[in-house]
Amino acid sequence: MRRIALPHVSFFVMAMLLAACATPKTRVELEVDVPRKSTGTAESYNYYIEGYLNELDGKLEEAGKIYSRSLEKDPNSPHLLTRLASILIRQGKLEMAEKLVRRAASLDPSNKHAHLLLGGIYTALGRLKSAVDVYERLLEIDPDEREARLLLGTAYIELKRYKDGVQAFSNLIDLNPGDILSRLYRAQANFQLKEFEQTEKDLNFLLERDPRNIQALLFLARIDEHRENYEKAEETYKRILSIDPKNRFARARLGQVYIRKDNFKEALKEYERLAKDEPGNREVHRTLGFLHFDRRNFQKALQEFQFVLARNPEDDVVRRYVAAIYEELNQLTRAEEELKRILTRKVETGKNEARYLEAYIQLARLYGKRNNWKKVYSVLDRAAKSHEENDRLSFVRGAFLAQQKRYDEAIPFYRSAVRINPKRANYMFSLAVAYYETRQWDDVEKSVRRFLRFSPNTLMR
């Protein structure tokens, strides 16, 4: 499931923490960031001031060199360590920055700025568990540190520790009931927990204060989708688009709602508009391909799928659809080529995923259309080697045999499919038909009775 993007708080907070974010235009409004602890020597201090002025002018390379000279004169200054680390962060040198900030935190364990920077670095490096440890340690030092609790909550959400995220943001809301950002993030965590009533309380609180809060409206619409209340979801997505016509997420979700309502004409309109707004978006073209395929507009579907494959040749789901299109157009050789490309990748990767099983079945069906039964069973035998105890494969093997009226041979495969997945009524029905064709009347009765347990209305139809 695609997640709704919320503001990237860690970057935002880090930006606030770094005085280095100043531009020459704002320089006159700033005071020199004097170290909280003495830098040891006048020479070190002078280097620091020179480095800071270069930083304000955007001369990061020069500022970093001068801060390094200052640090040589006073190597145990936590403030200088974090200052130089700030420059390295802006230059994307996160590993180097991490070493300096860790050293600053070890020299001054109560240094909040160092801990916040370190947590931000770990988050940027994808080391979220380490970030959580840093924020939790900082909160032990200062339980009222709001930024740390906010960042801790977002890290919990990224780690899918949603209950912990709810608690972190609830603590912030207890301190400030009007905290909009914390309510939005708590709503996100509760949404992931499917605690929709709790989610709605926060969202309604936000919308009472700002009826145009798009993030809150997006979550409300997603809740309605989960509840299959598609009319209400459609209404909310349209409301969002009236506020922000360029909101691509809302437009994509509106398209999905139309698909759920079998309104493919409107879904096509939304995705065609998205394709114009995002001409390089593979997912949009992918969905357009599926929509055209479902409407049997094979040439347009093929065009969309070829666009996707040109940018991602390993999208085997799309490639199977391309093969299906060639099959519909009776271009069986081209369909065969596409399926063989998928199965060649299967051999290369050594994976036994469902997409590969479907490619085997599709290829067997192609050979069946040509009445090349030797190749049909050769392909299915290859599939069986890597997909043992698979009910769908057993059923398909039985169906091919039944197609040739080889019912005695089909029965063991149908029975295997029923044994693996006894709740599939069509498996049981096909087995009953095979028994009927072979005049095994007792087994016919048993199979029909079992079939009717799963499809009790069949006789009425």
Residues 352 and 445 in one domain: no
The answer to the question of residue 173 being in a domain is no
410-427: average pLDDT: 94
Residues 443 and 335 in one domain: no
d(CA 236, CA 31): 47
Domain that holds residue 427: 407-461
Residues 333 and 442 in one domain: no
Instruction: Please say if the pLDDT value at position 230 is more than 90.
Output: yes
Residues 351 and 447 in one domain: no
Cα dihedral 368/374/380/384 (nearest 10): 170
The answer to the question of residue 369 being in a domain is yes
pLDDT at 203: 97
Three-class SS of residue 352? Answer: coil
How many residues are listed for the chain in this entry? Answer: 461
Where does a domain end: 96, 114, 138?
A: 138
d(CA 257, CA 221): 10
Three-class SS of residue 446? Answer: helix
Q: How confident is the model at residue 19 (pLDDT cuts 50, 70, 90)?
A: very low
The answer to the question of residue 337 being in a domain is yes
Q: How confident is the model at residue 22 (pLDDT cuts 50, 70, 90)?
A: very low
Residues 419 and 317 in one domain: no
Q: What is the CATH number of the domain that holds 424?
A: 1.25.40.10
Report which of residues 26 and 275 the model is more confident about: 275
Q: How confident is the model at residue 455 (pLDDT cuts 50, 70, 90)?
A: low
Residues 374 and 412 in one domain: no
Count of CB atoms situated within 10 Å of the CB of 228: 8
Q: Angle, nearest 10°, between helix axes 214-226 and 180-192? A: 20
With contact defined as beta carbons under 8 Å apart, do 292 and 304 qualify?
Answer: yes
The answer to the question of residue 328 being in a domain is yes
Q: What total of structural domains would you count in the chain?
A: 3
Residues 423 and 302 in one domain: no
Q: Which residue has the tokens 């145990």?
A: 76
- Residue type (1 letter), 151: L
81-87: average pLDDT: 87
Return the half-sphere exposure (C-beta side, CA atoms, 13 A cut-off) of residue 367: 19
The answer to the question of residue 97 being in a domain is yes
Question: 363, 314, 300: which is closest to 337 by C-alpha?
Answer: 363
Q: Which residue has the tokens 């709790």?
A: 198
With contact defined as beta carbons under 8 Å apart, do 203 and 216 qualify?
Answer: yes
Return the half-sphere exposure (C-beta side, CA atoms, 13 A cut-off) of residue 293: 22
pLDDT (tens digit per residue) in 282-337: 999 999 999 999 999 999 999 999 999 999 999 999 999 999 999 999 999 999 99
The answer to the question of residue 188 being in a domain is no
Residues 432 and 378 in one domain: no
The answer to the question of residue 65 being in a domain is yes
Return the half-sphere exposure (C-beta side, CA atoms, 13 A cut-off) of residue 124: 19
With contact defined as beta carbons under 8 Å apart, do 79 and 108 qualify?
Answer: no
pLDDT (tens digit per residue) in 155-213: 999 999 999 999 999 999 999 999 999 999 999 999 999 999 999 999 999 999 999 99
Q: Angle, nearest 10°, between helix axes 441-454 and 425-437? A: 160
Residues 419 and 311 in one domain: no
Q: Which helix (H) or strand (E) holds 167?
A: helix 162-175
Residues 113 and 36 in one domain: yes
Q: How confident is the model at residue 457 (pLDDT cuts 50, 70, 90)?
A: low
Is 342 exposed, middle or buried, given 0-12, 13-18 or 19+ CB atoms closer than 10 A?
buried
Residues 32 and 76 in one domain: yes
- Longest alpha-carbon distance in the chain: 104
Contacts of 34 (CB under 8 A, 6+ apart): none
Where does a domain end: 339, 355, 388?
A: 388
The answer to the question of residue 153 being in a domain is no
Q: Which residue has the tokens 């004169």?
A: 73
Residues 107 and 14 in one domain: yes
Where does a domain end: 70, 104, 138?
A: 138
